[in-house]
Amino acid sequence: MNSQRPVNLDLRTIKLPITAYTSILHRVSGVILFLGIIVMLFALDKSLASEEGFAEVKACLTSPLAKLIVWGLLSALLYHLVAGVRHLIMDMGVGESLEGGKLGSKIVIAVSAVIIVLVGVWIW
């Protein structure tokens, strides 16, 4: 098949709409949450096993790296939550137009950014 259509294989030059970015971030945040549950369940198991395990987990969570990981997991959770609420609202028929979708995406990004910054201040 000889197609004369232009083919753009350079992903850096493709301009995606804001709705695509929010959709991709929603999926990425879901994957991060899925993988982060493994770490959190391990820490929970260790902390419930003994007093020494609890002390180890408590000491580990005071390190800056652990705070960064917890902040990352909470950021993924909060973004996923806000984007999920947007999807539920769209399931009710609100914001299904192109303009409504763009506005909803902007609201998701703005609300998520504010909440994520507030959680970062709370953790640190």
pLDDT at residue 124, rounded to an integer: 85
87 is in an annotated binding site: no
Asked, for residue 11, whether it belongs to a domain, the answer is no
Asked, for residue 90, whether it belongs to a domain, the answer is yes
pLDDT at residue 4, rounded to an integer: 77
DSSP output for 44-70: HHHHHH-HHHHHHHHHHTTSHHHHHHH
Asked, for residue 7, whether it belongs to a domain, the answer is no
Asked, for residue 42, whether it belongs to a domain, the answer is yes
Under 8 Å between Cβ of 84 and 41: no
CATH number of the domain bearing residue 72? 1.20.1300.10
Asked, for residue 95, whether it belongs to a domain, the answer is yes
pLDDT digits (tens, 9 = 90+) for 86-124: 999 999 999 999 999 999 999 999 999 999 999 999 998
Q: Strand, coil or helix: what is 119?
A: helix
pLDDT at residue 1, rounded to an integer: 61
Asked, for residue 116, whether it belongs to a domain, the answer is yes
Nearest to 90 by CA among 17, 18, 19: 19
Asked, for residue 5, whether it belongs to a domain, the answer is no
Under 8 Å between Cβ of 33 and 27: no
Please give the residue range of the domain that contains residue 54: 17-123
pTM of the predicted model as reported, rounded to 2 decimal places: 0.86
Total domains in the chain come to: 1
Under 8 Å between Cβ of 70 and 123: yes
